[in-house]
Amino acid sequence: MGEAIGQVLPMAVGVALSPLPIIAVILMLVTRQARVNGPMFVIGWLLGLAVIGVIVIGILGGVGGNAGGPSTPVLWLELVLGVLLLLVAARQFKGRPHDGQTAPTPPWMGAIDTFTPVKALGAAALLSGLNPKNLLLGVAAATSIAGTNLPTGQQAVAYLVFELIATIGVATPVVIYFALGDRAPAILQRMKGWMGQNNAVIMAVLCLIIGVKLIGPALAGLTT
């Protein structure tokens, strides 16, 4: 199981370092319902990732691996996911703000102060489960785990570890909010500014690295 966890660590870090969701949860923490909406956002994030794992591991579990390594369907899926991540990396890098430009924020963020706890949970589930980059990384992680020879229970544990690491990014502002009290707003504001301005570059680098990591072993497996 340790090997499976090691394989998905880069994907987990890629999901954890998701600037827009981190900015979203920071904005929630300056609203009247911060004490409820912040934790609900974290719960929704976990739920969105859990759905990906249940679906992918459930489908690929029966064809995931053999004594020689991942099966051919798993290798092809990893290859496709790697190529898609390279395309995402290129798109993110092309759209990065240049010197003197301010990174735009999605229009829906302007309505965060009106979010109910249910909306906070739903928004987080969508951002973790349907955001293109996070969806690709979640599917890639679940595919890598399904490609092992582990029993189903151990695959579930490995994916849970992936989920927990992937949630560190959105959970950190919530922990700061509850732990630091009056000192939290200044820290969160600096975090929000840095993440917003560097969103595109962060995503481009992460997707490039993980895409190459998926493509290399997949090609090696398919050509042997």
Distances (CA, A) of 114 to 34, 75, 120, 178, 203: 11, 44, 10, 21, 28
> Which pLDDT belongs to residue 146?
85
Residue pLDDT, tens place only, 142-153: 988 888 878 888
Residue pLDDT, tens place only, 11-53: 999 899 888 899 999 999 988 899 999 999 999 999 999 999 9
pTM recorded for the entire structure = 0.84
Q: What is the CA radius of gyration of the chain?
A: 18
> Which pLDDT belongs to residue 94?
81
> Domain coordinates of the chain in residue numbers?
2-222
- CA 195 to CA 192: how far, in whole Å? 5
- CA 71 to CA 61: how far, in whole Å? 11
